[in-house]
Amino acid sequence: MKDTKLAFVLLLVLLMIPVLGVVAQDSAPVKWPDLGGREVTVAVENLYCPYNMIKDGEAVGWDYDTFNAICELLNCTPIFKNALGRHAHCYCSRAV
């Protein structure tokens, strides 16, 4: 029984080493690339509340909030294109 407890404690310590190593690292500030205000096309469907929808004539939801925040970090302008399912990739591929 004593050997089992010791083995269990050793296993826990070994499993914690990678976690503690990541936490102990110095975290340098992230340098985001600067896209220089370039327009980026984002395909959305506006069908899945709360992710993307039209509410009172305004496009709202998690997708819009997320891409606006990403573009704020990258210094770009999101252009949202309404796309349905299988056609979403067409909008994105033409914008490249």
pLDDT at residue 85 in the model = 63
pLDDT at residue 90 in the model = 56
The model carries a pTM of 0.59
pLDDT at residue 44 in the model = 85
Question: DSSP character for 48?
Answer: B
Strands 53-55 and 58-60: antiparallel
pLDDT at residue 1 in the model = 64
Mean pLDDT by 10 residues, the chain (96 residues): 74 71 63 91 84 86 92 93 66 51
Contact criterion met (CB below 8 Å) for 63 and 53 = no
Cα separation, 62 vs 69, in Å, equals 10
